Amino acid sequence: MQNVTELPVSATFPRDLSVIIQVCVVVALLCIFLSCIVVMLYIFASHRQFLDSSRYILFASMLISDTVQLLVSVLLFFLYMCQVKFAVVYCLPVLVISIATFQNTPLILATMSLERYVAIMYPLQCPSAWRSDRIWIIILSLWLLSCVCTITECSIGPQKNAVDNFYIPVVCADSIVNSSPIQMFFKTVVNILCFAAVAVIILFTYVRILLQTSKLRQDRTSVSKAMNTVLLHGFQLLLCMLAFTIPITESLIALHANWLLNDIAFFNYFCFVLIPRFLSPLIYGFRDQSFRSYIGKTFLCCSNRVKPSVKSLKQNIH
């Protein structure tokens, strides 16, 4: 009897170690990501040239959206890994934020591509809606559209005994809370339409800017930069769409590998949710020449502040 009772304890040790390693990896990446985001938002807020540019205002909005999405998704991932259960009424707001920010990022990417298109096609007479003092209206409209679609998805499920169901403790996951066929159908249709529309807009803006390049003999450098920016938006959209491959990879791993469910969940989350959302804003921010120069200056200033403090500490010791 003693050997039987000790077996589960020894068997759970590798599992506990695996969970600890997964948590450490996610937390470490999240800290690096947040550090870079804080630096970029600080640069955006402290320089007037960025505050007066619609392009950088949209970029800051994307940074905020991706940061919120990552924070909420990490929270949901940890709750799922630990199988923490709480009432649906507390779970729904977290899911609404997670889904809305997931859908908002591709909409912002499409808007950023349109902004580059407008800047190239109408360099002297920019439409009023795309000016820096009006771009906030477009950003708020995108957030409103994302929230309306998400709230609709969460509210079209079965309404029988809805009040009682709100207080049932469940594991907070979208596949568990929004599991009715009509909700799954609505979510699939919205995601397909959203990403298809964004892909069409990015392709349209790229083709139009490409055609404009053949007409312009002057200022081809700025047009070329705009084309590269639109291509980058397409790459960012592909990174966002990697999340849709999770059901496929789950099936493939389950068929060809003897993995635990939590390990499969971590692999999919790390490769197709965390890393793409981690890379997308950082690639755009570090690629931009203006932002990159200010990022280098910021880190250089921080290192210069640390070095004198270390030297003074050594002098005080001696």
Write down the pLDDT at residue 60. 92
**pLDDT tens-digit series, residues 265-299:** 888 888 888 888 888 888 888 888 888 888 777 76
pLDDT over threshold 90, residue 57: yes
pLDDT over threshold 50, residue 50: yes
pTM of structure: 0.83
* DSSP assignments along 106-151, one per residue: HHHHHHHHHHHHHHHH-SSS--GGGSTTTHHHHHHHHHHHHHHHHH
What burial class does residue 211 get, using C-beta atoms within 10 Å of its C-beta: 0-12 exposed, 13-18 middle, 19+ buried? Answer: exposed
Model confidence at 252, pLDDT cuts 50, 70, 90, reads confident
**Whole-angstrom Cα distance, residue 250 to residue 238?**
19
pLDDT over threshold 60, residue 13: no
Mean pLDDT for 195-223 is 80
Residue 252: which of 273, 268, 274 has the closest Cα? Answer: 268
CB 108 within 8 A of CB 58: yes
Domain residue ranges in the chain: 16-300
SS3 state at 169 = strand
**What is the percent of the chain where pLDDT is above 90?**
18
CATH-assigned architecture of domain 16-300: Up-down Bundle (1.20)
Mean pLDDT for 117-130 is 83
**pLDDT tens-digit series, residues 146-155:** 999 988 888 8
Model confidence at 71, pLDDT cuts 50, 70, 90, reads very high
CB 65 within 8 A of CB 101: yes
Write down the pLDDT at residue 68. 93
Mean pLDDT for 42-52 is 89
**pLDDT tens-digit series, residues 156-183:** 866 544 545 677 888 888 877 777 888 8
pLDDT over threshold 70, residue 216: no
Q: What angle do CA 305, 309, 315 make, to 5 degrees?
A: 150
Model confidence at 302, pLDDT cuts 50, 70, 90, reads low
